[in-house]
Structure 1
Amino acid sequence: MDVGFIGLGRMGRGMVASLLRDGHKVRVWNRSAGAAEGLDGATVVESAAEAFRGEAAITMLADDAALRSVIVEGGLLDGAERPGLHLSMSTISVALSRDLAAIHARAGVPYIAAPVFGRPNVAEAGELNIVCAGPDEAVARAAPLLDAMGAKTWPFGPEAPRANAVKLAGNFMLISAIEAMGEACAFAEGHGVPGADLLDLLTNTLFASPVYKGYGASIAANRYEPPGFNLKLGAKDVRLALQAAEAVGVPMPFASVLRDGLIEAMAHGDADKDLAALAKVSARRSGRG
């Protein structure tokens, strides 16, 4: 397929590499110059408008502000040449997803929300889990792209915001797991048990899942750089989850606990470290950090 890709952070680069490997023709644009270096086979274009055309356009931008700036304020949906569909793969708010779906409908461009679960190495391997919601016909047309980037696509119906709600729910659970491991390590160490030994036991028995094993290994080794997913992005996702929860009258008391812990971590200089650095908050509060 003829694809435009906007947003070449660590995740975006891996996703483009997977598309190229699968034989798709990919035009790329990023706000900062030089981000496309090393993406052999991709065509670098000079503007977002040149990428936002063809059979499909994919966006993988950092947050609501970046996506709104490029797509809405940049007037991409007002151009003479527009894509056959737009796959929005960023982790964004439910509210913005709803707005974008309406704006795209008025412009006649099918909009699909397709946020992903997985780190940059998973993106590069084409093994992401992709949460997808949008018009059935458009999702069917996007299938070759989704298959190139992901191990599995998880459909959640025709309403795009559902996919974003699922993504935020998943990230809430992931960050909760890190908080639980941080508190459990601080508790165990208070009783003379090395936190690394506790995590070795639990992540190979009761909690032998990718999230616990991966983040647990980072916590056990005090290894928070380079980040696979940085802490400030985790803080953004918890904030978005709380906003979306309030909008539908759903209390999320533990999300508030996570928000405060993430703010504390950022106040201590850990914003750009891996999300696993949230565990340092419990250690610090116990006098062992």
Structure 2
Amino acid sequence: MRVGVAGLGRMGRPMAARLIAAGHEVTVWNRSPGKADGLDATFAATPRDLADRAEVVVTMLADDAASDAVHRGEDGLFAGKLAHTFLEMGTVSPGHIRNLDATTRAMVIDAPVSGSTPQAQGGTLKIMAGATEDELTHLRPILDVLGDRIEALGDRGRAAVMKIAVNMLIHGMNQTLAEALALTDAAGLDRTRAFDIIAGSAAGAPMLAYRRPLYLDEAAHDVTFALALARKDMDLALALAEGFAVAMPQSATTRDRLATAEAAGFGARDMAAILAHERGET
């Protein structure tokens, strides 16, 4: 299949690599062309050029504003003539997805993923899709390369809501874990042992296993999920909750702690750096 990938960040690049390895004819685009170095793919000059070369376009972009610029900006994806389906796989608001879908002749599906860089590399992402099973049939050759579980949630925007809910919980766990480790650190307990006890307890979650190196020594490892993006996710969650008149006091606190850490210079570091922030480190 002729597939386009827009956005070659920490998630988009390994996803593009998997599609190439699976035999798809892949074209890529990124604001910084150097991100495509080493990929056996055609590099498009503009998003429009990308959508002129691909039947299905996967976008992995940071937020609503970035997604809107790439889809509807000058020489944007929607100006292309070939692409008939756009899979927005980043974390964006449900309203943004519905607005995109309503303003193009093509089909725009929210298909955000749960997982981090290792899961993108291994094709074990969990994919939520704002589409019916029938609508996903022709996309299976793409989705099955990228993930090992695909949930068809029906209407546009539903997957975006589900992803926001999942990330809201993850970031809450991230904050609470940081506080737990700050407590055990202060008491003189070995961090590795304390972490492993937590991970093996009723509080254990898959996230703890694959992010273990970052929580034990965040500064020594590559960023897999920037703290600033975690704050963005919590902004989305709180805005969505306000629209539904749902109280989320714990999430509001999580968002505030992330914002404080971001203002202190932790924004570009991994979200595990919240531990260093809570310990008063720099």
Partner SS, residue 86 of structure 1: strand
The separation in 2 between residues aligned to 1:224 and 1:264, in whole angstroms, is 23
- Provide Cα deviations, 1:193-237, integer angstroms capped at 9, x if missing partner: 344332121212333432123344422335464211111111111
Structure 1 215/120 Cα, relative in aligned 2: closer, same or farther at 3 Å? closer
Unpaired runs of 5+ residues, structure 2, are none
Structure 1 116/80 Cα, relative in aligned 2: closer, same or farther at 3 Å? closer
Partner SS, residue 268 of structure 1: helix
Equivalent residue in structure 2 for 1:109, among 96, 106, 110: 106
Task: Kindly indicate whether residue 243 of structure 2 is the aligned counterpart of residue 258 of structure 1.
Answer: no
- Provide Cα deviations, 1:84-111, integer angstroms capped at 9, x if missing partner: 21111111112212211222xxx32112
Aligned residues with identical type, % of pairs: 33
State the shift of 1:73 in Å. 2.5
Q: In the alignment, which residue of structure 2 is the partner of 1:15?
A: 15
Task: Kindly indicate whether residue 127 of structure 2 is the aligned counterpart of residue 130 of structure 1.
Answer: yes
The separation in 2 between residues aligned to 1:222 and 1:148, in whole angstroms, is 30
- Provide Cα deviations, 1:117-144, integer angstroms capped at 9, x if missing partner: 1222321222211111125443111111
Q: In the alignment, which residue of structure 2 is the partner of 1:283?
A: 279
Alignment of 1:144-159 (within 5 A): 144-157=141-154, 159=155
Structure 1 136/155 Cα, relative in aligned 2: closer, same or farther at 3 Å? closer
Partner SS, residue 52 of structure 1: helix
The separation in 2 between residues aligned to 1:137 and 1:77, in whole angstroms, is 24
The separation in 1 between residues aligned to 2:264 and 2:220, in whole angstroms, is 14
Structure 1 150/46 Cα, relative in aligned 2: closer, same or farther at 3 Å? same
The separation in 2 between residues aligned to 1:224 and 1:258, in whole angstroms, is 25
- Provide Cα deviations, 1:150-170, integer angstroms capped at 9, x if missing partner: 11212211x121101111111
Q: In the alignment, which residue of structure 2 is the partner of 1:242?
A: 238
The separation in 1 between residues aligned to 2:251 and 2:264, in whole angstroms, is 20
The separation in 1 between residues aligned to 2:169 and 2:120, in whole angstroms, is 21
TM-align CA RMSD:
2.0
Q: In the alignment, which residue of structure 2 is the partner of 1:6?
A: 6
The separation in 2 between residues aligned to 1:223 and 1:154, in whole angstroms, is 35
Unpaired runs of 5+ residues, structure 1, are none
Partner SS, residue 92 of structure 1: coil
Task: Kindly indicate whether residue 107 of structure 2 is the aligned counterpart of residue 141 of structure 1.
Answer: no
The separation in 2 between residues aligned to 1:274 and 1:80, in whole angstroms, is 35
Partner SS, residue 58 of structure 1: strand
Q: In the alignment, which residue of structure 2 is the partner of 1:200?
A: 196
